[in-house]
């Protein structure tokens, strides 16, 4: 093999490695938050693992109210027989109401940006299928995945990302990524329902809202 062929082969190998590495990064993060570099793994009040960032400038008294954007899906999911558009709407509405109720009980909730207003931007985002033998770079991020887990049957994986920004400047004041698995589905063909992920959402709403309130008061 001559030097030219060797160079081409090595270049192809490096390119393939770069693509695989980029794929792994995309599988781990949905891209909703844009920059994930500052997030660190911590335990929340319930003892669950959360990726979280808090801006040092976020001090008690800096913000006196919160503005909560409607929960979005990122990337936009395609409804299926197992995950219907009605279920997707019910889940996002449930998360919206839960956040408004919990935060509203602790803080002033407003509908418009302004000085002293922290803007909360929640999203149900990419998750990686828990499929045996699937390599990270083969995962295509989707907003909901119902997959078979060896020894456990089918269950729904869900990931929620929240961006908290200054409502006037847009500066990130905090961010978090939470991943979890809902209840085991009744059968391989059973449709996902709100009830399958409701307990998980309840816990996240409670711990997340409490944490935001603690940072502001």
Contact 124, 144 (CB under 8 A): yes
pLDDT tens digits along 174-188:
999 998 888 777 777
Domain residues for 200? 3-216
pLDDT at residue 189 above 80?
A: no
Chain segment 23-74, per-residue pLDDT in tens: 333 336 788 999 999 999 999 888 889 999 999 999 999 999 999 999 999 8
pLDDT per position as a tens digit, 81-123: 888 889 999 999 999 999 999 999 999 999 999 999 999 999 9
User: Taking a C-beta distance cutoff of 8 angstroms, is the pair 37, 175 a contact?
Assistant: no
Residue of 198, 113, 118 lying closest to 162 (CA atoms)? 118
Domain count, the chain: 1
Rounded to two decimals, the pTM is 0.78
What is the rounded CA–CA span in Å between residue 184 and residue 115?
45
The domain that contains 123 carries what CATH number? 3.40.50
């Amino acid at each position: 093999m001559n030097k030219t062929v060797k160079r081409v082969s090595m270049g192809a190998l490096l390119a393939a490695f770069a693509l695989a590495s980029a794929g792994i990064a995309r599988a781990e993060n949905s891209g909703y938050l844009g920059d994930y570099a500052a997030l660190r793994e911590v335990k929340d009040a319930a003892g669950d693992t959360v990726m979280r960032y808090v801006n040092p400038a976020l001090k008690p008294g800096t913000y006196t109210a919160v503005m909560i954007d409607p929960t979005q899906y990122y990337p936009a999911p395609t409804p299926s027989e197992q995950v219907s558009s009605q279920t997707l709407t019910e889940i996002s509405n449930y998360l919206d109401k839960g956040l408004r109720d919990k935060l509203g009980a602790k803080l002033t909730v407003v509908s418009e940006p302004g000085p002293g207003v922290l803007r909360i931007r929640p999203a149900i985002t990419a998750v990686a299928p828990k499929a045996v033998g699937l390599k990270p770079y083969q995962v295509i991020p989707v907003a909901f995945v119902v997959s078979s887990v060896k020894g456990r049957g089918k269950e729904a994986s869900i990931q929620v990302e929240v961006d908290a920004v200054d409502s006037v400047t847009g500066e990130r004041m905090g961010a978090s990524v939470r991943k979890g698995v809902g209840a085991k589905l009744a059968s391989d063909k059973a449709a996902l329902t709100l009830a399958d992920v409701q307990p998980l959402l309840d816990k996240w709403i409670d711990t997340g809202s409490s944490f935001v309130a603690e940072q502001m008061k």
